[in-house]
Structure 1
Amino acid sequence: MSRVKLLNFICILALFFSSTAYADTYIPVDSLLYDDFRFLEAEGIITTSMLSTLPISRLEGARLTTEALNNASIGNSSRIDRVVSRLEKEFVRELDIAKPAYLKPADTAHLQYAYSDRESFFAKKNRDGLSVRRGNNTFLDLTSRFDSRYVGLAVKPELSIYDDATQLTLKKAYLLANLGREEFMVGKESAWWGPGRNGSILLSTNAEPLTTLKIS
């Protein structure tokens, strides 16, 4: 390879890595953080959100938080101040210029109990296909995530204990990787597509996520 070609190759490689975006895991579609973003959107504090397609990444959440911090002015209502402060604390790592790699073994954990005298049915929306059976039902889930500059990872196992059975299911598991400005995601993660509280392109409001490959 000539020196000119080698120099061109190095320049292209440097340009590629200089434009590489950061990888970060998603904010789950059932997160209360979206209520905060919608409230700030309604108040005119943020104007560039795209909340009709969920989930958004934590980096996008940090960007919206930065917009809110820039647009929030003295004299805002105390509720606006509380919401912006809460978001600033939530995305403190993503707002850090250095954006260090971060592992959170227990990001969220939930323990639920339900008793039913009915046959199996879906208890609520956005529970990844969870069904309640006749009798006692106990559910325990744990979400873990890892975020770094180029790779993000999230897993959510759930233990379901019924009167007649015990099940361990991997409700969510996905790997994110950034290559240049392209983001690749493979795995299972709930999504909302289209306008409306639960999106419009849906077969169910309580479906288990499909295993997909997404490029964006």
Structure 2
Amino acid sequence: MSNHKTFPMGAAIVLFALLLTVISSSPVCAASSVNVSLERDLYSDMEFWAAEGLIESQLNSFRPFAGSEVGSQIAAALDRCEAKKSASPTCRRIAGHYAKLFQGDVEEARFPDHRNNTFLKPVETFSLSYRYLDGPFSVYNQEGLHYSDGHNAMIQFQSQARLWRAFSFFVQPMVLYNQKSGFHSLQPNPNPSSAPPNGWSDDESSNFDVRLHKGYGKLTLSNVELLVGRDSLWWGPAYHGALLMSNNAHPFDMVKLSNPEPVLLPWIFSYLGPVQFNLIFSELKDDREGEQLKNPFLYGGRLGFKPHPCLELGASHLVMFSGKGRRDLSFSDVFNILYGNENQDNKKTDSNQEFSVDAALTIPNVKKYLLLADGLKLYVEWGGEDTGLPPDRRAYVTGLALYKLFDLERTALHVEYARMSPSSVPGSWYNHPYYPMYYKDSVFGHHAGSDADDLFIEWSQDFEKFYYKLGFDRERSGIQTRDHTQTKNQFFGEVGYRLNDHSDIRLSYAYEKVDHVDYEEDDSRNNHFLGIEAFFSF
């Protein structure tokens, strides 16, 4: 909620840096390529590559990655692997799986003159999944997908195409069945100024839905691309949640300007190292309640750079404004909304703004200093909500990851803590009378929501064919604004088996215990989740 000054200096710096990046170009211009969807295992695996020192220039805090960037990083990792005296399990996995899966992108990265300028892949990936929920289990970071009590089934596939060098296209249709279309939340939304929890609804009927989950086209010139369509974003270095933008919300229609591969800026700015940016604009067409304005605009920008192969820095800015009844905005009005120095509560230039800065330090080969593990990643994202400098409505996400623990190959331990409950105004994050930061009933940022914190722990291990995860997540809400804090404790496990290089099957189970349901003193609940999924790539 807005009562103080916004972040004009931070936003102006980001805008200036974005301009510098736009006018720069990479030495070798990549052909247009579609993004790799956020649910792919590639993202966690590439963090492992960085922790092993196999890649250095990639900026992990900009997701999704374009296929051209993935190809460049796989090529770099393969070169490092070939220089080793003996191939590690990670190198064998890259060469045996990812180099084949992204063969076209790798070849284009190594031989830019041998590009396949026009092609069509009718089916790139295909998946079948089944979910059974016993109780209103909390589902998050699933691109806004909602599952009901009882049986849920989903079929989806992805297709891509390229036209000449400049255009690429992507679609992801989905068929979804819910035994009940009512998604009963543990947190009802009586306050229309608050972002509702994931899946808030009262409908009890079954639901069969055919939808275009994601779909877009890209125009790529030099190393700058323009995306128009529907996709998901993740900004920041965290593994489990992000303050401003994550895949918790449904993919949204947007116009995005970005550079798909990091670039080196000229002159003294070369000391910044590889630089990357995103700039987005969207009109959100979802259901809004009470005083919330319909069809608001969403603007966002992110800038990141890597001054050292081990250190990545970034800044993000997100603004929601305009909407029904506030469309009469001049260019100067819009500029003042995005970069002005004063909030305009209850006026046509009112807005809801969030800003964050983040840092990630990845150190490979630390076994001689840290006996437990061979790779280490430390990260933090620190944000302010509608405030000046220094921000007094602070939130943060911080965590660490340890790789190859106890000399066990392909193991990882992730520990992450997030808090979105500032002492000054506990309920300020994501909430606003007119512009709550959500889309289709799910928060854009961290799934825990406002006046909440979240502790996440996960252990994972990957063998040649078999892999598994074990974890715990504790989410508390109403920390300072309720007499009884609602606490959700989730215990989860996942096992998977790779049938071959292009198909795998995984089984997952989770148990959730909720205390003080809906902030009631004597109410508790136990929920269960069971899922099975078969995934095929071509």
TM-score (normalizing by structure 2): 0.35
- Name 2:186's counterpart in structure 1: none
Cα distance in 2, alignment partners of residues 160 and 140 from structure 1 = 7
- Segment of structure 1 superposing worse, 139-148 or 153-162: 139-148
Q: CA deviation at 1:211?
A: 0.8
Aligned length: 198
- Name 1:90's counterpart in structure 2: 101
Cα distance in 1, alignment partners of residues 241 and 151 from structure 2 = 32
Structure 2: stretches of 5+ with no match in the other structure: 1-26, 180-205, 259-538
**1:131 aligns to 2:146 (yes or no):** yes
- Name 2:208's counterpart in structure 1: 166
Q: CA deviation at 1:151?
A: 1.0
Cα distance in 2, alignment partners of residues 204 and 63 from structure 1 = 24
Contact kept, 8 Å, 1:198 with 1:205, in 2: the verdict is no
Contact kept, 8 Å, 1:192 with 1:198, in 2: the verdict is no
Cα distance in 2, alignment partners of residues 162 and 84 from structure 1 = 37
Cα distance in 2, alignment partners of residues 25 and 192 from structure 1 = 16
Cα distance in 1, alignment partners of residues 218 and 98 from structure 2 = 23
C-alpha offsets along residues 23-52 of structure 1, whole Å, 9 cap, x if unaligned? 000111121112221111101111111011
* 1:206/1:181 CA distance change after superposition, 3 Å: closer
- Name 2:62's counterpart in structure 1: 53
- Name 2:218's counterpart in structure 1: 176
- Name 1:11's counterpart in structure 2: none
Cα distance in 2, alignment partners of residues 122 and 140 from structure 1 = 21
Q: By percentage of residues, which structure has more strand?
A: 2
Could you say what the CA RMSD is over the residues aligned between the two structures, in angstroms?
2.3
Contact kept, 8 Å, 2:38 with 2:247, in 1: the verdict is no
* 1:203/1:44 CA distance change after superposition, 3 Å: closer
* 1:68/1:144 CA distance change after superposition, 3 Å: same
Letter in 2 for 1:112: S
Cα distance in 2, alignment partners of residues 202 and 112 from structure 1 = 29
- Name 1:192's counterpart in structure 2: 234
Letter in 1 for 2:170: A
Q: CA deviation at 1:81?
A: 2.5
- Name 2:115's counterpart in structure 1: 99
C-alpha offsets along residues 45-65 of structure 1, whole Å, 9 cap, x if unaligned? 111110111011111011111
Contact kept, 8 Å, 1:161 with 1:167, in 2: the verdict is yes
Find 2:33's aligned residue among 11, 24, 40: 24
Structure 1: stretches of 5+ with no match in the other structure: 1-17
Q: CA deviation at 1:136?
A: 1.7
Q: CA deviation at 1:203?
A: 6.2
Q: CA deviation at 1:214?
A: 0.8
Letter in 2 for 1:67: A
Aligned with 1:48: secondary structure? coil
Contact kept, 8 Å, 2:233 with 2:245, in 1: the verdict is no
Letter in 2 for 1:194: G
Contact kept, 8 Å, 2:78 with 2:91, in 1: the verdict is no
* 1:131/1:26 CA distance change after superposition, 3 Å: same
Aligned with 2:129: secondary structure? strand
Q: CA deviation at 1:193?
A: 0.4
Identify the structure with bigger relative contact order (alpha carbons < 8 Å, sequence gap 6+).
1
Contact kept, 8 Å, 2:218 with 2:225, in 1: the verdict is yes
Cα distance in 2, alignment partners of residues 41 and 180 from structure 1 = 27
- Name 2:126's counterpart in structure 1: 109
- Name 2:255's counterpart in structure 1: 213
Aligned with 1:215: secondary structure? strand
- Name 2:157's counterpart in structure 1: 142
Q: CA deviation at 1:88?
A: 1.5
Contact kept, 8 Å, 1:137 with 1:160, in 2: the verdict is yes
- Name 1:152's counterpart in structure 2: 168
* 1:88/1:138 CA distance change after superposition, 3 Å: same
* 1:32/1:79 CA distance change after superposition, 3 Å: same
Contact kept, 8 Å, 2:130 with 2:153, in 1: the verdict is yes
C-alpha offsets along residues 137-178 of structure 1, whole Å, 9 cap, x if unaligned? 111111111135211111111111123221112110111111
Aligned with 1:132: secondary structure? coil
Q: CA deviation at 1:199?
A: 5.4
TM-score (normalizing by structure 1): 0.82
Question: Which is higher, the Rg of structure 1 or of structure 2?
Answer: 2
**Identical pairs, percent:** 28
Cα distance in 1, alignment partners of residues 218 and 229 from structure 2 = 9
Contact kept, 8 Å, 1:20 with 1:178, in 2: the verdict is no
